[in-house]
Amino acid sequence: MVLNPVIGKLVSKRVVLASASPRRQEILTNVGLRFEVVPSWFKETLEKSSFAAPYEYAIETAKQKALEVANRMHLVSLSAISIVRSCVCVAVGKQILEKPVDKQDAYKMLSRLSGKEHSVFTGVAIVHCSNNRLETEVTDFYEETKVKFAELSEELLWEYIHSGEPMDKAGGYGIQALGGMLVEYVHGDFLNVVGFPLNHFCKKLAELYYPPLKHTIQHVKHDSIPSVETFENLSDGESDSSNPLQHKSANTLEANGVPLSGASGVRDYPAKFPSKIVELTDGFRASKALFVASKLKVFDLLKDKCVLKAVDVANKIEASVCGTERLLDACASLGLLEKTHQGDFYCRTIPVTRGVRLEDLFTSVLKEVLLGVWVASSMTFHQGRRLHHCLKAALNDSCYHTVEAKQHFMTAMHSIAKLTARDVATAFDLSPFRSVCDLGGCTGVLAHELVQKYPNLNVTVFDLPDVIANVSCFQPSGQHITSVMFTAGDFFKDNLPEADLYILSLILHDLNDEKIHILLSKISAICKPGSALLLAEIVLDEEKTHPSRGVLQSLSMTEGKQRNGSEYKQLLEKYGFTNVQIKITGNILDAILGFKKTSAR
């Protein structure tokens, strides 16, 4: 077998597949390759028209995805690793076919392929990272396979479309499943169409190891791993409405590439996502999670046990089950622990921590200086107490209720909203709505973004009196927006303004079940059939390990919790909201939209 000569060498190396695709994982596993899976966060948003040929786009996308993972992993580890990533694109001539946006789009796409031959290109990038993070070696290649569709009848087309399979496939079909019935012949590597050109990949590995061919490798030296903008302001679908470079408000001017405020005056500089700062912030949280777990001797406990439930760990360390589960999820998301597919078991620590008492690595100075307030959070795991109660035990809490402190809090929320508002406002088509109530909308950044996107929309920001009293400090001087109103009130106690759409941004994750019941019951009661509720929150994956930012943030929360998509869907459905849609934006916050169900007749 072509991979046999190098499989022995790869066993001793750390290999990472930068893709969550089960098809790629299955192909590589079947040939005996052992690897870790670390999905890339880089969005496929490169401008396709800038590439002379489709295969160039596929190669560059694969390379950027692999480099993003290399950059992220080298922030926490200097071990030598090889990152593998591929990108598949379907092309007719020079035009690349995307995933269909709906059934009608799938019909147009498949009709275009009917009876014709098209190309499937896969770009593959292999990034070798040495222990020295200043140097990487990049090997890339592409594979082309020709595929010809049979003449497809209307009946067959719609039968396939209604199966749902085309909706998440580039080109609108999956050859390894039902889509195979559409194909008349394949010229080239069949697995390339499935998702990974195995034969070419194996030959490339053989070239690299016996010995490397210098002309196939780009030796790149940098002051750091090449920087990749991980979080894009574009949606996965790359629609015009979600692209801030293509969709510009008529009121937005631009001089020398610098956006200026239009007549409305509400938009200054569009905030660029500070990925590097966020990565460093996450690193701070990650280290504190490691310190707290070590302080509670979690690693000492798990190194002697094969599998334990969260409740078992909680009992062993005499901690609250809720707090322990959050801590274990955080450690699993960081790769410090292993978690089984059942979701409620935590395996023994992996080699990075196995056999090492991390507690012995921390001096008293590290504990006192680096842990700081976060050490106090270990009390939340032991006793299930709210974090702010623990903070009172560690620090003088009197400053948190000053005018200056409230101003700092509003400034922080204002800054977060400036980074996230555009992606939240454009996550879904909100044009059918005429009135919006942003509950807890603080300084109104999202409200202003909404009226920029939908000029006919009237938005009410409903927040506490102390917040509304200070909103003027954050508004553009000398400018007024009549379609945005600020109303003071407490959404737990006071009547809510009437609206077609209600928004809760960064609210639900911080509330306990009782408060959520009160709030969602009030919103559900005032909503008319056809009205909707939009949530802006971090949406965890089903295993609650990604994004690690959301898992880590849960460690410093008070009464609430972070949720995955299924949990948000169930929560909204419980209060009468159906057709729940979830949009992973790639920004800090994701979006969840649910519609108030109509009355049964």
The last residue of a domain, from among 341, 368, 398: 398
Give residue 149's pLDDT: 92
Report yes or no on 521 lying in a domain. Answer: yes
What does DSSP assign to residue 370? Answer: I
pLDDT at 76: 52
Does one domain contain both 94 and 175? yes
Q: For residue 410, what pLDDT is reported?
A: 81
364 and 490 co-located in one domain: no
Tell me how far CA of residue 58 lies from CA of 52, 122, 230, in angstroms.
12, 6, 17
- 176 & 313 share domain: no
Structure tokens at 351: 């080699």
**Which letter does DSSP use for residue 474 in this model?**
G
CA-to-CA separations, 519 to 323, 445, 525, 536, 564, in angstroms, rounded: 24, 22, 10, 15, 20
Residue 116 lies in a domain: yes
Domain assignment present for 515: yes
Hey, what long-range contacts does 356-360 have (CB within 8 A, 24 or more apart)?
A: 356/299, 357/299, 357/300, 358/290, 358/293, 358/294, 358/299, 359/294, 359/295, 359/297, 359/300
Helix, strand, or coil here: 44?
A: coil
Question: Does residue 279 fall inside a structural domain?
Answer: yes
Residues 457 and 517 in one domain: yes
Please indicate, yes or no, if residue 226 is contained in any of the structural domains.
Answer: no
Counting beta carbons within 10 angstroms of the beta carbon of residue 460, is it exposed (0 to 12), middle (13 to 18) or buried (19 or more)?
buried
368 and 487 in one domain? no
Please indicate, yes or no, whether residues 508 and 369 belong to a single structural domain of this protein. no
Burial class (CB in 10 A: 0-12, 13-18, 19+), 389: middle
> For position 494, what pLDDT does the model report?
94
**pLDDT value of residue 318:** 83
- C-alpha span between 161 and 170 (Å, rounded): 14
Residue 490 lies in a domain: yes
Distance of alpha carbon 103 from alpha carbon 178, whole angstroms: 16
pLDDT score, position 355: 41
Domain termination residue (choose one: 332, 365, 398): 398
Closest CA to 593 of 601, 451, 585: 585
The answer on 175 and 321 residing in a single domain is: no
In a domain, 270, yes or no: no
Number of domains in the chain: 3
- The ranges of the chain with pLDDT < 50 are 1-2, 212-214, 216-217, 219, 221-270, 349-383, 385-400, 478-479, 601
Q: Are residues 101 and 56 in the same domain?
A: yes
Q: Could you tell me if 377 and 435 lie in one domain?
A: no
- Positions marked active-site: 509
The CATH number covering residue 443 comes to 3.40.50.150
- Say if residue 456 is in the same domain as residue 371: no
Per-residue model confidence (pLDDT) at position 416: 81
Q: Which domain does 319 fall in, by range?
A: 275-398
Q: What is the CATH number of the domain that holds 309?
A: 1.10.10.10
Peptide bond into 244 cis (omega under 30): no
pLDDT at 255: 37
Boundary residue ending a domain (203, 221, 239): 221
List, in order, residues 6 or more apart from 109 with CB less than 8 Å away.
Answer: 97, 100, 166, 171, 172
- Which CATH number belongs to the domain containing residue 110 in this structure? 3.90.950.10
Please write the tens of the pLDDT for every residue from 518-562: 999 999 999 999 999 999 999 988 877 666 666 766 665 557 888
**What tokens appear for 428 in the block?**
């879904």
Please indicate, yes or no, whether residues 319 and 432 belong to a single structural domain of this protein: no
152 in a structural domain: yes
**Is residue 132 helix, strand or coil?**
coil
Q: Is 248 left (phi over 0), alpha (psi -120 to 50) or beta?
A: beta
Spatial separation of the C-alpha atoms in residues 272 and 270, rounded to whole Å: 6
The reply to whether 388 and 472 lie within a common domain is no
Whole-angstrom Cα distance, residue 576 to residue 594? Answer: 9
**For the purposes of burial, counting CB atoms within 10 Å of the CB of 77, is it exposed (0-12), middle (13-18) or buried (19 or more)?**
middle
Q: What is the pLDDT of residues 223-259, one digit of tens each?
A: 444 433 333 333 333 333 333 323 333 333 333 333 4
HSE (CB half, 13 Å, CA atoms) of 493? 6
